[in-house]
Amino acid sequence: MARRKSQSHTWVYLIWGINGLVVVCLLAFAVFYLNGQRASAAESTTTDATSPAPTRAIPPTSYWLPTLTPNPYYTPPVFETSTPFVLADGPLPTIIGFSLAGRPIEAYTFGVGEREYLVVAGIHGGYEWNTVALANELITYINQHPEVIPSDATLYIIRNMNPDGEARARGVDGRVNNNGVDLNRNFPTENWTANWDRDGCWIYRPTTGGAYGGSEPETRTVMSFINSHNLTAVISYHSAALGVFPGGVPWEEKSKELAKALARVTKYPYPPIDTGCDYTGTLADWAVENGVDAAVDMELTNHRDTDFEQNLKALKVFLNWRP
Ligand SMILES: [Zn+2]
C-alpha cells in the first residue's frame, strides 16, 4: 500500500513539472515573439516616404537565447511625427543633401529674380517641429499665391534641416541630429566650440557642438547651399518665445535692421529675451561671416502653433528687404 501511494505522488510531481515547463516555454516564446514584433513595427514607422528608395525593412533576426548584446533593431519609442510633405501640383523640391540616416534634405525654389533669400526650418528637429509645419504651410501658400514673390526675387525654403531629429520624437529627444549634435552649434563660425557654459542655455539632454565646426552632414548641406548662392538674407526658424536674434558676434547692423523689421510685423520680441546663454556656432552667425548681407534666428511663440498669419507678413517684409 505504502509503495503504491508514493508511486502515485511521483506521477503528480511529474505532471506538474511538465506543466510548469510548458508554461515557462510559452512565456519565453511570447516575450521573444512580441519583442520581434515591436522591433519590426518600430522599423516600419521610422521608414517614411521621403526616405530615399523605400526598400523593405529587413526582418529582425530572432533571438532564441537571452543575450546581453543590445537588440540592434530596438529604436526609441516614436511619438507622433509629421507626415512627409508632398506639394500637390507644385514644383518638386531639390534634394540638396542627406541626413546621417539618409533622409533627404529638400529645398523648394520660388521665383526667378536676382535677389536671393533663404528660409531654413527644423534645425532643432522634433523639438521645434512646428517650424517644419510652418515651412510646409508657407510652401503650400506660395504655390497657390505665387504673386507674393517679387519679380526680382528668388526664395528658397529648406523645410526640414534635421529630418532625423524630427522623425525621432516631438519634444526634447528630437532636438539633436543622430550624432547627438546641436546643429545650430555646429557651424564653423569664429566662435565655434564643442562645449559651452550651460548657464541660461538649453540643458534638457546631453549635446555637443560636434567634433569640429561643420562636422555634421546636415550642417555641411546647408553650408554648401549658402556658399553656392548669392544670398541677400536668411531666416532660420526656431521655437519658442525668445524673439528675433540678429546674426553676427557682436550683432551686425544689417542683421539688426532685418530683425527689427521682422519683429515689428510679427510682434516677436526685439531685442530678443536674454537668458544669459552664449550662442556658438549658429547658422545665422556663420551666414553673415560668409557673405550673406543679413541673417536672423526667429522664434515662434510656442512649440505647437505655426503662427502662420504673423509669418506670412514676415515673409513679405523679408522678400522686400534690401541691405
Ligand atoms: Zn531652436
pLDDT digits (tens, 9 = 90+) for 289-318: 999 999 999 999 999 999 999 999 999 999
Lookup result for grid cell 511663440: 301
Residue 190 predicted with pLDDT over 60: yes
Sheet strands side by side (includes 294-300)? 94-98, 104-110, 153-158, 115-120, 231-239, 294-300, 244-246
pLDDT of residue 37: 57
pLDDT of residue 79: 43
- DSSP H or E run through 16: helix 2-46
- CA dihedral for 25, 26, 27, 29, sign (positive or negative): positive
Q: Average pLDDT over the chain, rounded to whole?
A: 86
- Cα–Cα distance between 114 and 150 in angstroms, integer? 10
- CA atoms within 13 A of residue 272's CA, in its CB half-sphere: 26
Helix axes 253-266, 308-319, angle to 10 degrees: 140
| Cα 99 to middle of ligand 1, angstroms | 18
pLDDT of residue 47: 41
Q: Cβ(178)–Cβ(185) under 8 Å?
A: no
| Cα 237 to middle of ligand 1, angstroms | 7
pLDDT of residue 25: 78
Q: How far is CA 284 from CA 180, 227, 261, 322, in A?
A: 21, 13, 16, 17
| Cα 33 to middle of ligand 1, angstroms | 40
Residue 1 predicted with pLDDT over 70: no
| Cα 289 to middle of ligand 1, angstroms | 20
- Per-residue pLDDT band at 88 (split at 50, 70, 90): confident
pLDDT of residue 75: 46
Segment 190-207 mean pLDDT = 94
Segment 68-79 mean pLDDT = 46
At the fourth CATH level, which superfamily is domain 94-319? Zn peptidases (3.40.630.10)
